[in-house]
A and B are shown apart, each in its own frame.
Chain A
């Protein structure tokens, strides 16, 4: 058991260096008030085992304010999973979960708060399911309990509209179970037939064949139903898909088995039938394979609050964001998001518009102007009047404007080949039947017709794509690249344009590096950071983030004038940060943000973009096969730097609004290009959705990223050319497996056209060809991955 030695200067709770300034409690050191108070809470509740499972388990400790609107019963009800007269159940997303201590503590919440009855953690999803007695505690108090021990839940609008994926997944698993059950038993009952039964055992033969028939009924009508519905839907839309020939084969197999068993003319094909359906369902399952802890369908709701404060005849109340009506008056406090397009009525708005425009510098607005949804207020409280409901606001129209998700647009290789395949099979079958009919052997005509259809089964074709692509997906996820599904891998292979967002994609998500014009001592930086920590202005927050390792000192006489600057007394020093006008008094218009400590000028500072490493190499590698574009919501200030980094011929566009980004992608697509879009924020969401393959680049894959086809860890960005290369290798592998499966089909056809297909041949050919393909695809993908230096 590892426990940190209390004499060292690292924090007992979070393990951070305490930097000399220590808080002590029970002979343990703490880096800050926050860590200490969590410890006090745990100690008073005898929950100190928390510290025994891991050293410094609080290293992900977060502190954030739980929104007050959770106390409102109507708002809380939208978040609850279940409620009866005394019991409520809720699922919270807790980003701080990272180790076994977290699980232990979160599952012991009932010791901290008697109103909490039970809690269960899902480690991968970072979720906690909590049952509580709502007569004792309300939802806000439950969330506060979590926040008090350093695990504040993240609450946003998307939680209310929870998608239910698990249900469809479950039925497929159940179908596979039924099919597996049937195929196993059918195999057992078919063996006697293969090995030959003596004449005394005629009764057994009849019994087994009827049992086989009985077992294939649920396989066809329950497990195989999807193939029929999908084939019918395809035919109705005059688009042949791979399910059409599969449905034809399943029904042929079943009808022939039915006839043979009822009229006792043969053993039937129950084994081939059940085996086929089982394998096909396995293929579907592989195709649906997804990362249960990642979400690819997020939209603006993940970023928006659940409720806002509305003012009705002078009285404040809480209203759910979705209930906001045109004409409602709302009050937005510092740090809150404007949830819908609104007219500014009162107060000085200093807005961070990075969600809407991607431009990070704040803008000031005076009353009477329209403020778009997604703007974040950074100064004092403001009052606004709603102009449009949330769903109709400017930013949300991104989701209405973007075309159908790209997956629906292009048909996969399988579907394209299915039509040709079906035609050939039907022609061959009719031809064989006609030949035997002309030769006067009606029984053989019927058996040749059905046998051709059975043997030409595109089973392997239906399996090779999901198996190959899922092998590719597992290579990708080892390297920090998570695809939404296997279909997405096929899209990736076809792309020939790459569009980058600038901020957060080409630059690190921190975005900027601070440059001081005069060198400062550590002590001076500390004073600045302490002052900047009081403000929500983006520049101040940036300054704080840069100096995250510095500990905070209390500030007195804090003063903030939006749009000008901040000042205050820190540890006895008078500190002043702001524009020239604020720092030197009037008349001075020199640019930049200036510093003044105890009346002495300490120069100015500015931020420069912090480019990701290896961008130049990445772009050069991509430029070999695709066109490179940069779309930025920012001003053109980085154009010259980018020109130096990126290969010649790169097209750049600055000052692009989210809609302009979307239109840019759409215009490329209209020119017949397939587009990969890499972005990170809400302002790229429309473009990500419109593109043929949208990649959300993120430092933390569990953090919220906008809806996309794939989520990529930022440090995997450099491997993008290899990923794309492997995806196109995979398409080649799929084509090769089609050739292999055709060889098997030809072998089977040799027996089939002669009308002498014995069930045993069919029953052996099918699993054999499937096995070949599974081995072939997985080895081939491994070899290709190793060649592209992406080995597992």
Chain B
């Protein structure tokens, strides 16, 4: 059963990693605006030279 000591340590460590990841996310403001990114991902980043043609179609 000695393996349990190791596993307990592992599980605590993993949970700590997730906790720290959450801290990092909240510190970098990833929870601040939850609405705009959802819209932003639908927009094209790169500008196409043919924008005008598309409009006229």
List residues of A whose CB falls within 8 A of some B CB. Answer: 1, 3, 43, 46-49, 51-53, 100, 103-104, 107-108, 111, 120-125, 166, 170, 173-174, 177-178, 181, 184-185, 188-189, 200-201, 204, 207, 211
Beyond contacts A107-B43, A207-B5: 15 other A-B pairs, Cβ-Cβ < 8 A, are A1-B54, A46-B47, A47-B51, A48-B51, A48-B55, A53-B43, A103-B36, A103-B43, A104-B43, A107-B40, A173-B26, A181-B16, A184-B15, A185-B12, A185-B15
| B26 with A174: CB separation less than 8 A | yes
Nearest-Cβ distance from residue B1 to partner chain A, whole angstroms: 7
Nearest-Cβ distance from residue A515 to partner chain B, whole angstroms: 44
| A103 with B11: CB separation less than 8 A | no
Give the B interface residue count (CB, 8 A): 32
B residues within 8 A CB of A201? 1
- A510 CA to B28 CA, complexed, in Å: 43
Query: Most chain-A CB neighbours within 10 Å: which of B5, B31, B43?
Result: B43
The DSSP consensus for interface residues of chain B is helix
A residues within 8 A CB of B57? 3
Residue in A51, A107, A120, A204 whose CB lies within 8 Å of B55: A51
| A204 with B44: CB separation less than 8 A | no
- A103 CA to B49 CA, complexed, in Å: 20
- A166 CA to B23 CA, complexed, in Å: 15
B residues within 8 A CB of A188? 11
B32-56 contact mask (Cβ, 8 Å, vs A): 1 or 0: 1101100110111001110110110
| A100 with B39: CB separation less than 8 A | yes
A residues within 8 A CB of B8? 189, 207, 211
Nearest-Cβ distance from residue A274 to partner chain B, whole angstroms: 13
A residues within 8 A CB of B49? 46
| A177 with B23: CB separation less than 8 A | yes
Nearest-Cβ distance from residue A80 to partner chain B, whole angstroms: 18
Contacts A103-B43, A204-B4 given; does A177 touch B32 at CB 8 Å: no
| B51 with A123: CB separation less than 8 A | no
| A121 with B22: CB separation less than 8 A | no
A residues within 8 A CB of B36? 103, 120-124
B residues within 8 A CB of A1? 54
Residue of A nearest to B38 (CB): A123
B residues within 8 A CB of A174? 23, 26
Nearest-Cβ distance from residue A659 to partner chain B, whole angstroms: 40
| A181 with B26: CB separation less than 8 A | no
B residues within 8 A CB of A184? 15
| A103 with B40: CB separation less than 8 A | yes
Nearest-Cβ distance from residue B30 to partner chain A, whole angstroms: 12
| A111 with B47: CB separation less than 8 A | yes
Nearest-Cβ distance from residue A759 to partner chain B, whole angstroms: 20
User: Which 3 residue pairs are nearest across A and B when measured between Cβ atoms?
Assistant: A123-B36, A48-B51, A104-B43
Residue in A49, A181, A207 whose CB lies within 8 Å of B15: A181
List residues of B whose CB falls within 8 A of some A CB. Answer: 1, 4-5, 8, 11-12, 15-16, 18-19, 22-23, 26-27, 31-33, 35-36, 39-40, 42-44, 47-49, 51-52, 54-55, 57
- A750 CA to B23 CA, complexed, in Å: 42
Contacts A46-B49, A201-B1 given; does A3 touch B55 at CB 8 Å: yes
B residues within 8 A CB of A100? 39, 42-43
Contacts A48-B51, A107-B40, A123-B39 given; does A178 touch B12 at CB 8 Å: no
Residue in A48, A125, A177 whose CB lies within 8 Å of B19: A177
The DSSP consensus for interface residues of chain A is helix
16 A-B pairs (CB sep. < 8 Å): A3-B57, A48-B51, A48-B52, A48-B55, A49-B47, A100-B42, A121-B40, A123-B33, A123-B39, A166-B32, A170-B27, A174-B26, A177-B19, A181-B18, A184-B15, A185-B11
Nearest-Cβ distance from residue A271 to partner chain B, whole angstroms: 16
Residue of A nearest to B40 (CB): A103
A residues within 8 A CB of B33? 122-125
A residues within 8 A CB of B18? 181
B residues within 8 A CB of A52? 51, 54-55
A residues within 8 A CB of B5? 207
Residue in A53, A123, A177 whose CB lies within 8 Å of B22: A177
A residues within 8 A CB of B12? 185, 211
A residues within 8 A CB of B51? 46-49, 52
- A651 CA to B42 CA, complexed, in Å: 55
Nearest-Cβ distance from residue A567 to partner chain B, whole angstroms: 45
- A204 CA to B23 CA, complexed, in Å: 31
| B26 with A170: CB separation less than 8 A | yes
Query: Most chain-B CB neighbours within 10 Å: which of A43, A48, A53, A107?
Result: A48
Residue of A nearest to B32 (CB): A166
- A122 CA to B34 CA, complexed, in Å: 9
- A204 CA to B8 CA, complexed, in Å: 10
Residue of B nearest to A49 (CB): B51
Residue of A nearest to B37 (CB): A123
Nearest-Cβ distance from residue B39 to partner chain A, whole angstroms: 5
Residue of B nearest to A6 (CB): B56
- A606 CA to B43 CA, complexed, in Å: 50
Nearest-Cβ distance from residue A40 to partner chain B, whole angstroms: 13
Contacts A52-B55, A122-B33, A204-B4 given; does A103 touch B39 at CB 8 Å: yes
- A103 CA to B44 CA, complexed, in Å: 11
| B35 with A123: CB separation less than 8 A | yes
Nearest-Cβ distance from residue A201 to partner chain B, whole angstroms: 7
Residue of A nearest to B22 (CB): A177
Contacts A100-B43, A122-B36, A177-B19 given; does A49 touch B26 at CB 8 Å: no
- A122 CA to B27 CA, complexed, in Å: 17
A residues within 8 A CB of B47? 46-47, 49, 108, 111
A residues within 8 A CB of B39? 100, 103, 123
- A125 CA to B34 CA, complexed, in Å: 11
Nearest-Cβ distance from residue A638 to partner chain B, whole angstroms: 42
- A9 CA to B54 CA, complexed, in Å: 21
- A100 CA to B42 CA, complexed, in Å: 9
A residues within 8 A CB of B42? 100
A residues within 8 A CB of B23? 174, 177
- A125 CA to B35 CA, complexed, in Å: 10
| A173 with B15: CB separation less than 8 A | no
Nearest-Cβ distance from residue A354 to partner chain B, whole angstroms: 35
Nearest-Cβ distance from residue A207 to partner chain B, whole angstroms: 7
Nearest-Cβ distance from residue A462 to partner chain B, whole angstroms: 25
- A292 CA to B12 CA, complexed, in Å: 35
B residues within 8 A CB of A122? 33, 35-36
B residues within 8 A CB of A211? 8, 12
| B1 with A173: CB separation less than 8 A | no
A residues within 8 A CB of B31? 173
| A49 with B48: CB separation less than 8 A | yes
| A204 with B1: CB separation less than 8 A | yes
B residues within 8 A CB of A111? 47
- A43 CA to B51 CA, complexed, in Å: 10
